[in-house]
Chain A
């Protein structure tokens, strides 16, 4: 078994409520897995279980082959929580030296890490004077101490501007290239598109889908929407011919499966005299994400 993180049929309940339900996933060295889910989907709970703070009701978690929270597991894992809060009156360098000391890594690494996240100039200023982005980058530097085998990043880029976000993912890609397995959580697909190797979608504690973005899009099988603007007076004819949804007096939306798109367009072509414009809207990332996160257990049964 080469997986650094192996989660198998993990269930966890809080006061009678299932927070995680039959979750299985694994992360290999060098792999970046994005865990997507709405607020309260169980992402942070999953992280806390991997860290050994919370204990599974059933199922197993193995970190580098060890029980979560055990000494070898804690040596393998580095963690960046959703809300980073360091002591405000310490400098960035002091914060990193502290965690470096707890991990028993050489202090010389600290300056290198500060440089990697672009904080070298602010290293000796108090953390209280840092901007949110700087605090988040300090948190990331903290998570990179000692070349971790598994990086757990809980919504690492929430609240960051697009530029910082981009730089953030570059540092994460660099860490993965050095062999770290990365598990990060996020709210949206757009954010992690092209930034991670695979994606897992968690909704109400259950794992709804796992795979690359292309696989997810295929599995979702969402229809492409063709938006037609009809010439004045022609909308009713088109609606009678093709069905679909009337948006207003001159517009019509048609849903069609991926494979039937060309046929439909050809049929539309025969009515070109009635058409003013045709717009093709393939399913977006948001649609794919919503498709999986909406798929509740009740809908599965119907």
Chain B
């Protein structure tokens, strides 16, 4: 079992590297992190938090858009493309189990996203450490950001692969990936804001709304990062992070549930593919 998953993993990781995904993702994430760090350094002196914490907050907000996008782009074609090219028929004809193919691809692409995050955010983190004063809280916030960003990447790789297995056609998988990105990253927040405006203060605002927020992996990721920082300057939905009815770690549990769900649905669906 482990050799077969390892074989799929190695092959997929080699692909991600040769297709320049890792380099591209690293460059995009690194440039955005650097820009936000410079922006944070510019206004840092006026606030009571250090540059690292400040940048972690703004980077968490930006990562919600970027990391799902990168993860979906990397994964949406992975199964449907192989169905269309016919190479999946060869793989499925071997003794490899279908779920091993799904998990092997998921692991490899997650590693690719994580390597990009580690290099990009790690480098910028060190750079800030050299150039500005940092606090212990700032370093912790940065580490939490990198770790949870990896988790967010894993979930959206899982979602992308799941969509790829569900649709079985690259064009449809691409449409579904764009749709899911818009829905989870953009529209969900707008709808929630609308709902809380309409409902006003009450049971919905205190007991339903927070759960709806962490039900979405993108929001759960942002909520976790902001809620763990006391001094974070926040607004809008993120204001919720100060008045949560559950500990911020619950948001991590929500991320975990998403990952398990995408693996379960994706593997089950991969079993039913006729290559």
Please determine whether B90 and A101 come into contact, CB atoms closer than 8 angstroms. no
* Per-residue interface assignment for chain B, residues 3 to 42, with 1 indicating a CB less than 8 Å from any chain A CB and 0 otherwise: 1101110110011001100000000000000000000000
Is B96 part of the binding interface, using a Cβ–Cβ cutoff of 8 Å? yes
Q: Which residues of B contact A142 (CB under 8 A)?
A: 90
Question: Contact size class for A?
Answer: 20 to 34
Q: Which residues of B contact A94 (CB under 8 A)?
A: 11, 14
Q: Which residues of A contact B15 (CB under 8 A)?
A: 87, 89-90
Contacts A90-B11, A98-B11, A102-B91 aside, 17 further interface pairs with beta carbons under 8 A come to A51-B93, A53-B275, A74-B95, A85-B86, A85-B87, A87-B15, A87-B87, A89-B15, A90-B15, A94-B14, A98-B7, A99-B90, A99-B94, A102-B95, A102-B96, A104-B4, A104-B95
Q: Which residues of B contact A48 (CB under 8 A)?
A: 274
Please determine whether A86 and B14 come into contact, CB atoms closer than 8 angstroms. no
Is A84 part of the binding interface, using a Cβ–Cβ cutoff of 8 Å? yes
Is A71 part of the binding interface, using a Cβ–Cβ cutoff of 8 Å? yes
Is B92 part of the binding interface, using a Cβ–Cβ cutoff of 8 Å? yes
CB distance from B114 to the nearest CB of A (A): 22
Is B89 part of the binding interface, using a Cβ–Cβ cutoff of 8 Å? yes
| CB<8 Å pairs between A and B, sample of 27 | A48-B274, A51-B93, A53-B89, A53-B274, A74-B93, A77-B93, A78-B93, A79-B90, A79-B93, A81-B86, A81-B90, A83-B86, A84-B90, A85-B85, A85-B86, A87-B15, A87-B87, A89-B18, A89-B19, A90-B11, A90-B14, A98-B11, A101-B6, A101-B7, A101-B10, A103-B95, A142-B90
Is A281 part of the binding interface, using a Cβ–Cβ cutoff of 8 Å? no
Q: Which residues of B contact A87 (CB under 8 A)?
A: 11, 15, 87
* Per-residue interface assignment for chain B, residues 63 to 92, with 1 indicating a CB less than 8 Å from any chain A CB and 0 otherwise: 000000000000000000000011101111
Is A54 part of the binding interface, using a Cβ–Cβ cutoff of 8 Å? yes
Is A210 part of the binding interface, using a Cβ–Cβ cutoff of 8 Å? no
Is A75 part of the binding interface, using a Cβ–Cβ cutoff of 8 Å? yes
Chain B's interface: helix, strand, loop or mixed, by majority? helix
CB distance from B248 to the nearest CB of A (A): 42
Size of B's binding interface in residues, CB under 8 A: 25
* Contact residues, B217-275 vs A (CB, 8 A): 274-275
* Contact residues, A28-65 vs B (CB, 8 A): 48, 51, 53-54
The 8 lowest CB-CB distance pairs between A and B, nearest first, are A101-B7, A79-B93, A102-B94, A85-B85, A102-B96, A89-B18, A74-B95, A75-B95
CB distance from B20 to the nearest CB of A (A): 10
Docked pose: A71 CA to B93 CA in angstroms: 10
Docked pose: A19 CA to B19 CA in angstroms: 40
Docked pose: A104 CA to B3 CA in angstroms: 7
The residue in A78, A87, A94 that gathers the most chain B C-beta atoms within 10 A of its C-beta is: A87
CB distance from B225 to the nearest CB of A (A): 36
CB distance from B113 to the nearest CB of A (A): 20
Which residue of chain A has its CB nearest to the CB of B97? Answer: A71
Q: Which residues of B contact A102 (CB under 8 A)?
A: 4, 7-8, 91, 94-96
The residue in A51, A71, A104 that gathers the most chain B C-beta atoms within 10 A of its C-beta is: A104
Contacts A85-B85, A89-B15 given; indicate if A53 touches B92 (C-beta within 8 A): yes
CB distance from B133 to the nearest CB of A (A): 46
Q: Which residues of B contact A74 (CB under 8 A)?
A: 93-95
Docked pose: A94 CA to B11 CA in angstroms: 8
